[in-house]
Amino acid sequence: MNPPDLPPPTLRLRIDAQALASNWRALDRLSGSGEAGAAVKANAYGIGVANVVPVLREAGARRFFVAHWSEVPALLDHAPASEIAVLHGPISPEDAAFAKATGVKPVLNSLHQVRLWLTAGGGLCDLMIDTGINRLGLPVAELGDGDIARLEIDTLMSHLASADENAAQNRQQLDLFASVAREIPARRRSLANSAGIALGLDYAFDLTRPGVALYGGIPRSELSGTIAQVAFPQAAVLQLRNLLPGDSVGYNALFTADEPIRAATVSLGYADGYLRAWTGRGELRRGDAVLPVLGRVSMDMIVVDASAAPDLREGDWLDLPYSLPEAAASSGLSQYELLTLLGRRFHTD
């Protein structure tokens, strides 16, 4: 017997597909004569590859980046192999064989990866040059290796370390990348992430790789007013109760009422990405009404002060304010963390 249909969820994530498409188009425009690709690693920053990639392809995006080989199958349901590149590159012969078998491009990051790729038969690949982040990418000193000349390079790329700041490192990386790009033949060159796009057209080259700004993140103030919120989390009220003066709430009784309070227990906790960083600072909304979090965030629940929403009923939905720059400022979490933390219990249509 098939299990019966699931009842309605108590967590949902509304995705504004128009905002997503318009964010990509804005970033593509800001890339000048270059085109914007899309970083869709980590399940499209927690928003869901299936929700995001069809919208981006419809808007015109044709180059998608994931980090892991394990992320390829879900992406292949929505984009052809020729549009996909894997940023971590091959670290085993199995990875290189998987790339060959699927037709997905590896981003090669080291001479070890270059040799694995050539041993597997080679073919079109991307090459990541390290220009100062010292994380993943071929050191410039190793570019003269004879095996580099044997590569068939589609996109020659590097990654900015401090593009969200006005740091001298940005110009240094730009200059180094431009000089490397003059020496290494490739079909196209790519340097800028979201923040790098905001640094100006010098940084755009032929292809940009926005991630966080597609999903409503604003890593530099130049992008505010251009980038719109995409992810709107909502959680349902599980129970309402009346607190009396002296009643405490939640684990370790961190909050004690000093007046009568109408409190709502809500289906949202740290297992859903609503971390304990929000304890004492978070608030939910019902229309214009603000419902502050009372006491500690639990795994599956929070309690909020519902006094400002006297008509609230069990089962009603509350909004989690998720304008990323503001949510980051009040929680101390990064805009990237706020997105990628969103748990698997959120329902999207």
Cβ-based nearer residue to ligand PLP, 194 or 307: 194
How far apart are the C-alpha atoms of 241 and 324, rounded to whole Å? 31
Q: Which string of DSSP letters, residue by residue, matches 125-167?
A: EEEEEESS--SSSEEGGGTT-TTGGG-EEEEEE---SSTTTT-
Provide the minimum distance between the beta carbon of 45 and ligand PLP in the complex, in angstroms, as a whole number: 7
Per-residue contact track with ligand PLP, 102 to 141, x per CB under 6 A? Answer: ----------------------------------------
Say whether 105 is catalytic: no
Provide the minimum distance between the beta carbon of 24 and ligand PLP in the complex, in angstroms, as a whole number: 12
How far apart are the C-alpha atoms of 326 and 246, rounded to whole Å? 33
Provide the minimum distance between the beta carbon of 217 and ligand PLP in the complex, in angstroms, as a whole number: 7
Residue with tokens 């192999």: 81
How far apart are the C-alpha atoms of 74 and 94, rounded to whole Å? 19
Q: How many residues bind ligand PLP (CB under 6 A)?
A: 12
Rg (CA), the chain: 23
Say whether 203 is catalytic: no
How far apart are the C-alpha atoms of 173 and 246, rounded to whole Å? 59
Cβ-based nearer residue to ligand PLP, 210 or 295: 210
Provide the minimum distance between the beta carbon of 156 and ligand PLP in the complex, in angstroms, as a whole number: 13
Q: At residue 19, what is the residue type?
A: A
Distances (CA, A) of 273 to 53, 278, 297: 23, 10, 11
Cβ-based nearer residue to ligand PLP, 180 or 261: 180
Query: Looking only at residues 138 through 167 of this chain, which bind ligand PLP when binding is defined by CB under 6 A?
Result: 159
Cβ-based nearer residue to ligand PLP, 137 or 250: 137
How far apart are the C-alpha atoms of 67 and 318, rounded to whole Å? 34
Provide the minimum distance between the beta carbon of 208 and ligand PLP in the complex, in angstroms, as a whole number: 8
Residue 39 lies near ligand PLP (rule: CB under 6 A) = yes
Provide the minimum distance between the beta carbon of 135 and ligand PLP in the complex, in angstroms, as a whole number: 9
Residue sitting closest to ligand PLP (CB): 211
φ, ψ for residue 325, nearest 5 deg = -60, -40
Residue 88 lies near ligand PLP (rule: CB under 6 A) = no
Per-residue contact track with ligand PLP, 187 to 226, x per CB under 6 A? Answer: ------xxx-------------xxxxx-------------
Q: Which contiguous run of DSSP H or E holds residue 77?
A: none
Q: Which contiguous run of DSSP H or E holds residue 212?
A: none
Picking from 214, 193, 213, 218, the residue whose alpha carbon sits closest to that of residue 203 is: 193
Please give the DSSP secondary-structure letter assigned to residue 222: G
Cβ-based nearer residue to ligand PLP, 209 or 345: 209
Q: Which of 105, 203, 215, 251 is catalytic?
A: 251
Q: Which of 41, 45, 105, 270 is catalytic?
A: 41
How far apart are the C-alpha atoms of 250 and 242, rounded to whole Å? 14
Cβ-based nearer residue to ligand PLP, 173 or 267: 173
Positions that interact with ligand PLP (CB under 6 A): 39, 41, 87, 159, 193-195, 209-213
Residues belonging to the active site: 41, 251
